[in-house]
Structure 1
Amino acid sequence: MGDDTTGVTPSGRRASGPRCIALVGPFQSGKTTLLEAILERTGAIPRMGSVDAGTTVSDASAEARQLRMSVEAGFATTRFMGDDYTFVDCPGSIDALQDMRGVLPAVDAAVVVCEADERKVPALGVILRELEERGIPRILFINKIDKASRRLRETLQVLRPASRVPLLLRQIPIWSNGIVSGFVDLALERAFVYREHAASQVIPLDGEDLAREKEARFSMLETLADHDDELMESLLSDMEPPRDRVFDDLGRDLAAGHVVPVLFGSALHTNGVLRLLKALRHDAPGVEATARRLGVGGEGANALVMKTFHTPHGGKLSVARVLSGRLAEGAVLTGAAGQAERTSGLFRLFGPGTEKLSEARAGDTVGLGKLDHVATGEILSTGRTAPAAPGVASPQPVIAVAVAPRDRKDDVKLGLALAKLRDEDPSLVVTHGGDGGEMVLAGQGEMQLRAAMARLAGRYGIQVTQARPAIGYRETIRRSATAVRGRHRKQSGGHGQFGDVVIDVAPGARGTGFVFTDRIVGGVIPRQYIPAVRDGIAEALRKGPLGFPVVDVAVTLTDGSFHAVDSSDMAFQQAGRIAIQEALAACQPVLLEPVHRVEIAVPSDATARINAIVSARRGQILGFDARAGWPGWDCVAALLPEAEIGDLIVEIRSATAGVGSYTAIFDHLAELNGREADRIVQARAA
């Protein structure tokens, strides 16, 4: 079975046991279709499903089918040549990279699916960098080779800038009438022609193909010899190295991250898929290497949680890779915080389907039932303490939406549903508060929020309204006012109410907030009422003449009077409120808008476009510099009003082939005047 019929196994070096392989790559590169091809070729499904038809194994959720794209990691376990493999189909959208980040620490290797498309090279570079920094062995699979319009070496030149590690050709194409009809395996030194949905056929290697193979093979061996002195000596002596040694070097250099082997094919037609599977079988490291990379060992069984799902009927399901030992059904597992929980079951995963297991061994990827207090990224152990987890930091959100249930009785239900969504995807952030007490859902991109809205409606039956989150406008004053009196007098039978204060109000330095000074002398206001005056003023400052919270004002209490019977805390609170309201109206109130310092990371060829975008959004460019550790990237620094940041990421992604991003932090409040200020004040009043 396979693209060759020999079943060559290099020198017994092949890792044994179950493997876990991530399928990663840019958006729409064909990862889900490749998984379908793998499942068909290994006999796990009778025929391939289609992304467009919504019939694929890994994109089984209603949201994925609705959006026609992967929105979360999908898992499928199959068997190939006697070994179990769990393939994880990771979303390619930059919005959903956090799902990939949760999966990567636990996998043995990654297949990076890409196309010969220059527009997708920046996205490919971002993904390869994630793999490089985490030390994940990786194979590059150039998909859609049947549609290739350029020679493979030209394609390699296009893709090469995306990788900081040498790209190593494992195959060269055989061309027929301008179409790739097969390949030559440079390690096996054999030629094959494709057969659709069937194993490739061995053909004689001769003529021009043989000459091309000799040249490409020597180039491959030269690269491998950079890390093998004996192989280098063989090449210098014009001696053909043993085939087993070549395979050993391929596996060793892949595991060490010295090279990225390059294979190609067409997932849609299953061309090159069995050759890819054999490369993984021969060259990819096993779970022992993964456990060493994570520093996991010690007593008992250990498992890393890669992903969390909340299923409609089975409750919470934690997908975990068993890194060492054996797990039995009903095992008690200790988490990162020292909590111990008993799993309700072990499950083999196949898309949305599960199969109950009695036991899981090292290398297996399984679902663990109902571990309510366990989060993605934790390492669980049957021992007394859990090993330290590698940690997957969530990036700062770049887009947000204010949400509210259309039916008010769903308010509590919405909060619980959002908590579950965040459990499944930690890069989602839910906040409460702001001036209007709104609930805000923030994330990594427009598509991620669309998928979240679809989940709320489809899984939890909650319809929500969406709006732009409120901007943190404030107001302050330009002028001072002195001797402003606030008197509260009320008589309604029995004790009345009486409070009388005189205050001076002045603008404060930016950032000082509210400063209150007491200069009462002679007991004209008893000491016990002074805090009430301050509280009344502070409460009134929550909404100034323009309708926004007032900041940066200095208030001095200078005089007043009281009544021995009718004065009270409540009366002096009201008097303070009246005084400050009258004073503010006379002090030329002015609107303030929050301004953020923004750092925008983009490929260098997009820097000029980003500068134009910032300027068009009333931003101030502070400068740009090369992004540290990212050749070919810049970091643009700017000051940008908060009101202009809401959909900024949409324009940035559009200008950078989907890979640009930014971070923002509050910098200062700035005066806003003119028509824009008038519009904001009128909208607030309405």
Structure 2
Amino acid sequence: MGERKVAAPRCAALVGPYLSGKTSLLEALLHATDATQRRGTVKDGTTVGDSSAEARARQMSTELTVAHTTYLGDPWIFIDCPGSIELATEATGALLAADAAVVVCEPDIDKAVMLGPLFKFLDDNAIPHMLFINKMDNATVRVRDLMEALQQVSQRPLVLRQVPIRAPEAESTVTGYVDLVSERAYAYKPGQASELIAMPETAREREADERQKLLERLADFDDALLEQLLSDAMPAKEEVYAQLARDLEQDLLVPVFLGAAERDHGVRRLLKALRHEVPQPAQTAERKGIAATGEPLAQVFKTVHAAHTGKLSLARIWRGQVTEGLVLNDVRVGGVVRLVGQQQQKVPAAVQGDVVGLARMEAIATGAVLSPSGRGEPGLAWPAPPPPVYALALHAEKRADEVKLTGALARLAEEDPALSAAFREETHELVLSGQGDIHLQIAVDRLRNRYNVPVATRPPQVAFKETIRRPHSLHTRFKRQSGGHGQFADIHIDIKPLPRGSGFVFGDSIVGGVVPKQYIPAVEEGVREYLKQGPLGFPVVDLSVTLTSGQFHAVDSSDMAFKTAGRQAMVEGLPQCEPVLLEPILQVEMTAPSAYTARVQRLASGRRGQLLGYDAREGWPGWDVVTAYMPASEIHDLIVELRSLSHGVGSYTARFDHLQELTGRAADKIVESRAAAAQ
């Protein structure tokens, strides 16, 4: 296997489920490449990544960590991505910027399903990826059984590159591995390169069997290799390595490696595979449809607002060279920095393949394609953020911080497009929306830690409304004498219910000028003012009010008098119309693997949902979509239970569909709660 001369930096994103050990793998990679003198641990809080207060408090990654290093003379950038499904948008950006991904998982068959959405994203975007099965030092499952489970969630064939060597006295203890291409056996040495050893007889039969499977899988994509196998000729190892590199570049298969990052097991073997098989930046640019020649081209995949350095736009350089002072998209680059965790090193220029921070590019958003001309590239289109599935109403604990809060939320949303904040007119609340409770709690912590804006949160209010069930007619007179001109208005109105969804309709049948035309809009204004909060305490909809008759006084009548009469008429009349509460009903589409469909249906029914059916999820083999009508009041923590029953991969989308009457004790409790809050 000959070495290649590498000039351009390559980038690999470390992705995988929460607790799979990505941050530990990053530490091991950096230590093995001499980028750090001491290997940090998550437990001790000494890692290069996860340095923020939010990450330390939770002992989990809460944002990307970019780290530059060098391995055997080749420059590398590793991006450690959060594993929580709620922070998946962070990983999305890193994957679109990378040459390849290292998917990290645990040797747990039950958790294999958690990789399904990640594999789907990688394959949909043709991103080359390897699988690193971590924590093999404590694995109790057989690798062949684990591979079967993992293959169920991968559309691309998984190709095992190693078989474990287990201790004779303890089958659960993995002491080394056999490389299936070189057919060499190695014993693990914690903190050091593995030691070449004679292949144990206990591993020889398994190695031969798995190597044959590897070659047969490669032959599916290479006719020359297939002919050799059919003629019982063994291909040269160099041919096998070359074919593996070609297939990885085209995302035709997924090489699978074994190891234990915390003990440095398998880390250097992974590094060698990355070095020899991961595509060059020029090849990645070609895959994305970027021309090889032209003006400098970069793309921002992450925005960071740092406390002391201001805004930093993390970008991958796809073509040319970017220097401080260069104008991209009409914005001057304020500086170019290289990152190792929180450490920043100023550099004079960034070349093709580099991942750097571009300083003080205030007008540039995440996903922006940067060039001197400002022209974009079709192959670098940025995905829309996922729809929110969880929300919290929030307000600053100190009234003086309200303005600061608005600015801080805007910066958080710029850093993380999966976050959004908006003021809901219906409930008069500022609502922060995102991908789950952890996601929003991290944002709340950042408001306090980074922007010194502590906030209080609560579940958002549901936008209940009310309507009427029967018509009513009434006569109202407003008369007040207070010296000089008085106030006088006399009206007759008809109040009638309308079909659901009609809103509010105002009309008049005045004849003979008993109420002058100039006063009729004032009556409507008074009516509308009252409808903002009806007898049950909620906005009133789906009714008509018709002004049928009335009287006026040439001196004492006025717009204000008729407006007051209109409001007074509604105060008197609407309680006589049998008011009833309306709750918003959403059409909800819940997605999950087909194995969980029955549980999802029970979940919907248990939340007062009306099941509308289920169908296969388009483009997702083995997944279903369950559709139901569900009350908005049952949606707040739906995602928590949905993920709980589907190993974290289920999700949903919801849209308003209609308003529905709510009666009985449930309605009474809502009205009582509203009345208590108004006191």
Segments of structure 2 that go 5 or more residues without pairing to the other structure are none
The match for 1:468 is: 459
The match for 2:62 is: 71
Task: Give, in angstroms, the shift of residue 166 of structure 1.
Answer: 0.4
- Measured in 2, the distance between the counterparts of 1:575 and 1:550 equals 18
Which residue, 294, 312, 323 being the options, matches 2:318?
Answer: 323
1:120-163, CA deviations, whole angstroms, 9 ceiling, x for partnerless residues? 21211111111111110000000011111122212211211110
TM-score by length of 1: 0.96
Segments of structure 1 that go 5 or more residues without pairing to the other structure are 1-7, 335-339
Task: Give, in angstroms, the shift of residue 204 of structure 1.
Answer: 2.5
CA RMSD of aligned residues (A): 1.5
Task: Give, in angstroms, the shift of residue 343 of structure 1.
Answer: 1.5
The match for 2:177 is: 183
Which residue, 343, 353, 360 being the options, matches 2:343?
Answer: 353
Partner secondary structure for residue 261 of structure 2 = coil
Which residue, 2, 8, 17 being the options, matches 1:9?
Answer: 2
Would the aligned equivalents of 2:103 and 2:131 in 1 still touch at CA under 8 Å?
yes
The match for 1:257 is: 251
Counterparts of 1:104-503 in structure 2, within 5 Å, are 104-177=95-168, 178=171, 179-205=173-199, 207-297=201-291, 299-334=294-329, 340-388=330-378, 389-482=380-473, 484-503=474-493
- Measured in 2, the distance between the counterparts of 1:300 and 1:383 equals 8
The match for 1:536 is: 526
- Measured in 2, the distance between the counterparts of 1:15 and 1:477 equals 75
The match for 1:91 is: 82
The match for 1:524 is: 514
Where do 4+ consecutive residues of structure 1 move more than 3 Å? 205-212
Would the aligned equivalents of 2:427 and 2:463 in 1 still touch at CA under 8 Å?
no
- Measured in 1, the distance between the counterparts of 2:479 and 2:53 equals 64
Equivalent AA in structure 2 for residue 33 of structure 1:
S
- Measured in 2, the distance between the counterparts of 1:436 and 1:204 equals 72
Equivalent AA in structure 1 for residue 213 of structure 2:
S
CA separation of 1:74/1:671 partners in 2, compared to 1, >3 Å: closer, same or farther? same
Would the aligned equivalents of 2:48 and 2:340 in 1 still touch at CA under 8 Å?
yes
Equivalent AA in structure 1 for residue 304 of structure 2:
F
Would the aligned equivalents of 1:291 and 1:323 in 2 still touch at CA under 8 Å?
yes
Partner secondary structure for residue 75 of structure 1 = strand
Would the aligned equivalents of 1:410 and 1:462 in 2 still touch at CA under 8 Å?
yes
Would the aligned equivalents of 2:427 and 2:462 in 1 still touch at CA under 8 Å?
no
Would the aligned equivalents of 2:604 and 2:610 in 1 still touch at CA under 8 Å?
yes
- Measured in 2, the distance between the counterparts of 1:659 and 1:243 equals 39
Bigger mean CA deviation after superposition, 605-614 or 246-255: 605-614
TM-score by length of 2: 0.96
The match for 1:640 is: 630
Matched, 1:40 2:40: no
- Measured in 2, the distance between the counterparts of 1:290 and 1:493 equals 86
Task: Give, in angstroms, the shift of residue 289 of structure 1.
Answer: 2.0
- Measured in 1, the distance between the counterparts of 2:643 and 2:56 equals 23
Partner secondary structure for residue 175 of structure 1 = strand
Counterparts of 1:461-610 in structure 2, within 5 Å, are 461-482=452-473, 484-610=474-600
Matched, 1:668 2:662: no
Partner secondary structure for residue 511 of structure 1 = coil
Equivalent AA in structure 1 for residue 149 of structure 2:
V
- Measured in 2, the distance between the counterparts of 1:464 and 1:667 equals 32
Partner secondary structure for residue 239 of structure 1 = coil
Would the aligned equivalents of 1:78 and 1:84 in 2 still touch at CA under 8 Å?
yes
Would the aligned equivalents of 2:323 and 2:333 in 1 still touch at CA under 8 Å?
no
Would the aligned equivalents of 1:15 and 1:282 in 2 still touch at CA under 8 Å?
no
- Measured in 1, the distance between the counterparts of 2:325 and 2:199 equals 56
- Measured in 1, the distance between the counterparts of 2:616 and 2:373 equals 47
- Measured in 1, the distance between the counterparts of 2:6 and 2:110 equals 37
Partner secondary structure for residue 577 of structure 2 = coil
Equivalent AA in structure 2 for residue 87 of structure 1:
F
- Measured in 2, the distance between the counterparts of 1:21 and 1:428 equals 26
Counterparts of 1:647-658 in structure 2, within 5 Å, are 647-658=637-648
- Measured in 2, the distance between the counterparts of 1:54 and 1:498 equals 75
**Identity between Structure 1 and Structure 2 (%):** 50
Equivalent AA in structure 1 for residue 320 of structure 2:
G
Task: Give, in angstroms, the shift of residue 522 of structure 1.
Answer: 0.7
- Measured in 2, the distance between the counterparts of 1:643 and 1:151 equals 46
Aligned length: 671
Would the aligned equivalents of 2:533 and 2:539 in 1 still touch at CA under 8 Å?
yes
1:550-599, CA deviations, whole angstroms, 9 ceiling, x for partnerless residues? 00001111011222222222222111111122110110101111111111
